[in-house]
């Protein structure tokens, strides 16, 4: 059966508008479409393909586990899930792990746990959840309501209640909002979809202190920032602030769907048997692949390499901007970077993404004014240089068009 991009419009729900080309094969940081055209991948499946495409060690584990055991349900446990959970516990603040299939599901579990913890310990009046404008926590109705972007949550009827928002990095606004009725605060320790916004140190430490003061749980959504993305295994490790609950997904599976919620024994105790679950969560196939991806990423040479590659990106992006004057700043950390457009190019991020695709480079946007890069953590320096040479041609094309207007 022959399929093309036109097939999408015929048979798929129109909630996506995918690119015109259809990728069919990937290796490392390179992808080929149906016509054999090669692209360099700076998108990483939206910060998922932490080791690029078809990493040989992940392929090996997938094949090995695929011939052993795929699925059991949580009526039974399994060895890959137990090994992966043990490694997550050993490497982080956490003592207990819950597995799901995605970041949204991990966040849903975290929010339900926080509400249950508060109900059990303080009563039903302690139910307020605070999150931040421009945040993103998933597409379930609960998580999209907690995410601070009305464009994603409006239009579906009454929303889950007792959810409030304030601006990220505005400690005074947060302090005015939090109270003894707050059960949890959910935040990204590096905002992704909202524009690649790093937290001020005073802000994130102030949030932690105010959570402690009001007996509110602090939930870090590390779905995008976790598993080496910032050059730390998890972003919290570079901030001097430890959450009560952490969620992780995307890079955790190296391209295979998996999510996890990490927390302490005392907090985890409130999700008693039967209070929450997932048919596929923690299945042996996903956990086996994730264990290998985690093992590879959690090595000093890989994490140090992320920092070095960030420096190369910044050096080359600065050179591009010196020539074309399109960015106000390059934001982010590690292999999660955002090129924020200056006043002349406001609202044009998608134009740069399309122009990059025309130059055979895959990249992302984070809102209308930020071009986002979330490549493999082990992308070769040669691919960074070649990809940014293609990006420069895209920047030149957009800049020429704007200057001609």
Distance between CA atoms of residues 19 and 39, nearest Å? 13
- Active site annotation includes 250: yes
What is the chain's Cα-based Rg?
21
Q: At what angle do helices 300-324 and 284-297 cross, to 10 degrees?
A: 70
* Catalytic residue selected from 134, 250, 292, 309: 250
Distance between CA atoms of residues 126 and 128, nearest Å? 6
Distance between CA atoms of residues 224 and 230, nearest Å? 10
141's enclosing H/E stretch is helix 141-146
* Catalytic residue selected from 41, 221, 244, 351: 221
- Active site annotation includes 136: yes
CA atoms within 13 A on the CB side of 86: 7
Q: 370: which residues sit within 8 A by CB, 6+ positions away?
A: 195, 196, 331, 338, 339, 340, 341, 349
* Catalytic residue selected from 42, 99, 117, 136: 136
SS3 of residue 95 by DSSP: coil
Beta-sheet strands, E only, within 92-225: 96-100, 128-132, 163-166, 182-187, 217-221
Distance between CA atoms of residues 169 and 67, nearest Å? 49
The side-by-side arrangement of strands in the sheet containing 96-100 is 96-100, 259-263, 245-248, 217-221, 182-187, 128-132, 163-166
Distance between CA atoms of residues 29 and 50, nearest Å? 10
- Active site annotation includes 159: no
User: Which residues does the annotation mark as catalytic?
Assistant: 136, 221, 250
């Amino acid at each position: 059966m022959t399929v093309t991009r036109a097939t999408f419009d015929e048979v798929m729900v129109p909630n996506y508008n995918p690119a015109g080309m259809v990728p069919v094969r990937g290796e490392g940081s390179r992808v080929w479409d149906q016509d054999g055209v090669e692209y360099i991948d700076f998108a990483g499946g939206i910060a998922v393909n932490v080791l690029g495409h078809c990493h040989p060690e992940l392929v090996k584990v997938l094949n090995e586990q695929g011939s052993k055991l795929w699925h059991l349900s949580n009526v039974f446990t399994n060895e890959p899930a137990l090994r992966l959970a043990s490694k997550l516990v050993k490497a982080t603040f956490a003592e207990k792990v819950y597995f799901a299939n995605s970041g949204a599901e991990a966040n849903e579990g975290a929010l339900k746990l926080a509400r249950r913890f508060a109900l059990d310990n303080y009563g039903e009046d302690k139910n307020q959840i605070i999150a931040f404008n421009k945040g993103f926590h998933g597409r379930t109705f609960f998580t999209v309501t907690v995410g601070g972007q009305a464009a994603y949550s409006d239009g579906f009827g009454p929303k889950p209640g007792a959810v409030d928002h304030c601006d990220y990095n505005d400690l005074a606004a947060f302090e005015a909002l939090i109270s003894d009725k707050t059960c949890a605060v959910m935040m990204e320790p590096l905002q992704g979809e909202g524009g690649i916004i790093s937290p001020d140190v005073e802000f994130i430490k102030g949030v932690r202190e105010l959570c402690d003061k009001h007996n509110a749980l602090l939930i870090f959504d590390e779905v995008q920032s976790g598993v080496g993305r910032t050059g730390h295994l998890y972003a919290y490790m570079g901030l001097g602030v430890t959450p009560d609950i952490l969620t992780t997904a995307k890079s955790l599976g190296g391209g295979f769907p998996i999510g996890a919620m990490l927390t302490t024994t005392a907090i985890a105790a409130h999700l008693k048997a039967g209070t929450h679950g997932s048919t596929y969560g923690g299945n042996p196939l996903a956990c086996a692949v994730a264990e290998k991806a985690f093992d590879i990423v959690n090595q000093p040479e890989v994490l140090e390499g992320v920092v070095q590659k960030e420096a190369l990106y910044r050096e080359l992006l600065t050179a591009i901007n010196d020539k074309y004057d399109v960015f106000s700043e390059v934001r982010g950390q590690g292999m999660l970077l955002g090129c924020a457009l200056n006043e002349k190019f406001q609202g044009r991020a998608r134009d740069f993404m399309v122009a990059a695709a025309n130059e055979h480079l895959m990249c992302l946007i984070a809102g209308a004014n930020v071009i986002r890069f979330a490549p493999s953590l082990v992308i070769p320096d040669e691919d960074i240089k070649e990809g940014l040479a293609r990006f420069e041609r895209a920047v030149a094309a957009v800049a020429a068009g704007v200057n001609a207007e």
